[in-house]
Amino acid sequence: MRFLFLITFFFFNTILFAQTINLPKNPKAGECYSRKFDYNKPYVWKKVNCDSIKRNKTKHNDSILLSKRELVKRQLKLTKYQEKLKGLGYKLEVTGMLTDQTIKAHHKYLKAVARKEKKLERKNSKK
C-alpha cells in the first residue's frame, strides 16, 4: 500500500510541475499556434493558419529571414529588458534569450504596472 501511495505521489508531483509556457493552454490536434513577445502586452499564443506557416517555411526570401544585425538588436533589447526586470527584484537570469523565467517575470511586471495605474486613477478620482 505504501508503494502504491509513493508511486501516486511521485506521478502527481511530476504532472503538477510539468506545465510550462512553452505550449498553449489547451492545444488541439491539427491546429497551429504561434506566439509573439511584446514588451507592453502579456505573452500569449494565437491560432494561425497552418498553410501560411508551411508556405513561410518553404520560402527562403530575405524578407522572411531576419538579418544578423536585426537578430543582434533584438537580443540586446531583450538583454536590457531582462536586466531591468532583475534590477526590479524579479528572479531571472540575464541570457538575452526568452526563457520561462523571463516570461513569468514579464507577466508579474505587467500586473504590477497595471495595479499602480489603477491606484493612481483611484487617487486622482477622489480629488
- On the CB side of 118, CA atoms within 13 Å amount to 6
Please indicate, yes or no, whether the overall pTM of this predicted structure exceeds 0.75: no
SS3 label, residue 45: strand
> What is the CB neighbour count within 10 angstroms for residue 28?
8
Tell me if 20 sits within 8 A of 100, measured CB to CB: yes
pLDDT tens figures, 95-121: 888 888 999 999 999 999 999 999 999
| Domain locations in the chain as residue ranges | 26-126
Q: At 38, list the grid cell.
A: 511584446
Residue 29 pLDDT greater than 90, yes or no:
no
Closest CA to 90 of 75, 112, 73, 74: 112
Residue 59 pLDDT greater than 60, yes or no:
no
Q: How confident is the model at residue 55 (pLDDT cuts 50, 70, 90)?
A: low
Backbone φ and ψ of 33, nearest 5°? -130, 150
Amino acid at 65: L
